[in-house]
Amino acid sequence: MIYLDNNATTRPTPAVVEAVTGALNDHWHNPSSIHRPGQAARAQVELSRGKFAQLLGVRPRELSFTSGGTESIDLAIRGLIGAFLGSPQRSKPGPAPLLITSAIEHSAVRDLAAELERRGEATVAYVEVNLDGTVDPDSLAALLQTNRAQAPARAAIVSLQWANNETGAVQPIEAFHQICRDQGALLHCDAVQWIGKCPAHTPALLMPLTVTHRHREDHSPTAVLPCDLLTCSAHKFHGPKGVGLLWARAGVRLRPTLLGTQELGRRAGTENVPGIIGAGVAAMEAAAWIADASAISRQAALRTRFENAVLAACPASHINGPTDERRLWNTTNIAFPSLEAEAVLLGLSEAGVCASAGAACSSGSLDPSPVLLAMGVTTASAHGSIRFSLSRSTTPEEVDAAVPIIAKVVARLRRVMPVGS
Is 193 among the residues that bind ligand PLP (CB under 6 A)?
A: yes
- Shortest reach from residue 331's CB to ligand PLP, in Å: 11
Is 370 among the residues that bind ligand PLP (CB under 6 A)?
A: no
Is 113 among the residues that bind ligand PLP (CB under 6 A)?
A: no
Task: Between 223 and 345, name the residue whose CB sits nearer to ligand PLP.
Answer: 345
- Shortest reach from residue 14's CB to ligand PLP, in Å: 22
Applying CB under 6 A, which of residues 233, 272, 331, 389 lies at the interface with ligand PLP? Answer: 233
Alpha helices in 230-338 (DSSP H): 273-290, 293-313
Query: Across 21-173, where does the E strand assignment appear?
Result: 63-66, 98-101, 123-126, 156-161
The DSSP line for 378-391 is -HHHHHTEEEEE--
For residue 105, how many other CB atoms are within 10 A of its CB? Answer: 24
Is 278 among the residues that bind ligand PLP (CB under 6 A)?
A: no
State which of positions 31-90 bind ligand PLP (CB under 6 A): 68-70
Is 319 among the residues that bind ligand PLP (CB under 6 A)?
A: no
Read off the DSSP letter of residue 170: B
Task: Between 154 and 235, name the residue whose CB sits nearer to ligand PLP.
Answer: 235
- Shortest reach from residue 161's CB to ligand PLP, in Å: 5
**Active-site choice (180, 198, 227, 361):** 361
- Shortest reach from residue 417's CB to ligand PLP, in Å: 29
Stretch that binds ligand PLP, among 80-88, 93-101, 188-196, 385-393 (CB under 6 A): 188-196
- Shortest reach from residue 152's CB to ligand PLP, in Å: 32
Do the Cβ atoms of 191 and 355 come closer than 8 Å?
no
SS3 of 192, please?
coil
- Tell me the residue nearest to ligand PLP as measured from the CB: 69
Contacts of 314-321 with CB under 8 Å at 24 or more apart are 314/406, 314/407, 314/410, 314/411, 315/419, 316/419, 317/410, 318/381, 320/133, 320/166, 320/167, 320/372, 320/375, 320/377, 320/381, 320/385, 321/132, 321/133, 321/164, 321/166, 321/167, 321/168, 321/169, 321/375
Stretch that binds ligand PLP, among 190-198, 339-347, 383-391, 399-407 (CB under 6 A): 190-198
- Shortest reach from residue 75's CB to ligand PLP, in Å: 12
Task: Between 230 and 314, name the residue whose CB sits nearer to ligand PLP.
Answer: 230
| 361 catalytic residue (yes or no) | yes
Query: What is the distance between the alpha carbons of residues 363 and 356, in angstroms, rounded to a whole number?
Result: 7
Is 161 among the residues that bind ligand PLP (CB under 6 A)?
A: yes
Do the Cβ atoms of 236 and 192 come closer than 8 Å?
yes
Stretch that binds ligand PLP, among 30-38, 77-85, 189-197, 222-230 (CB under 6 A): 189-197
Is 188 among the residues that bind ligand PLP (CB under 6 A)?
A: no
Is 106 among the residues that bind ligand PLP (CB under 6 A)?
A: yes
Give me the residues paired with residue 157 across strands: 99, 186
Is 371 among the residues that bind ligand PLP (CB under 6 A)?
A: no
Task: Between 242 and 347, name the residue whose CB sits nearer to ligand PLP.
Answer: 242
- Shortest reach from residue 158's CB to ligand PLP, in Å: 16
- Shortest reach from residue 221's CB to ligand PLP, in Å: 29
For β-strands 331-335 and 318-320, DSSP reports them as antiparallel
Strands in 123-126's sheet, in edge-to-edge order, are 63-66, 244-248, 229-233, 186-190, 156-161, 98-101, 123-126
Residue 354 has φ and ψ, to the nearest 5°, of: -100, 125
Query: What is the distance between the alpha carbons of residues 158 and 348, in angstroms, rounded to a whole number?
Result: 39
Task: Between 223 and 359, name the residue whose CB sits nearer to ligand PLP.
Answer: 359
Whether the bond into 208 is cis, omega within 30 of 0: no
Task: Between 98 and 232, name the residue whose CB sits nearer to ligand PLP.
Answer: 232
Q: What is the distance in angstroms between the CA of the first residue and the CA of the last residue of the chain? A: 32
Read off the DSSP letter of residue 60: G
Task: Between 141 and 355, name the residue whose CB sits nearer to ligand PLP.
Answer: 355
Residue 163 has φ and ψ, to the nearest 5°, of: -140, 145
Applying CB under 6 A, which of residues 113, 124, 157, 192 lies at the interface with ligand PLP? Answer: 192
Applying CB under 6 A, which of residues 64, 165, 385, 391 lies at the interface with ligand PLP? Answer: 165
Q: Which helix (H) or strand (E) holds 246?
A: strand 244-248
Is 240 among the residues that bind ligand PLP (CB under 6 A)?
A: no
Query: What is the distance between the alpha carbons of residues 198 and 295, in angstroms, rounded to a whole number?
Result: 11
Catalytic site positions: 361
* Chain residues that interact with ligand PLP, rule: CB under 6 A: 68-70, 106, 108, 161, 165, 190, 192-193, 233, 244
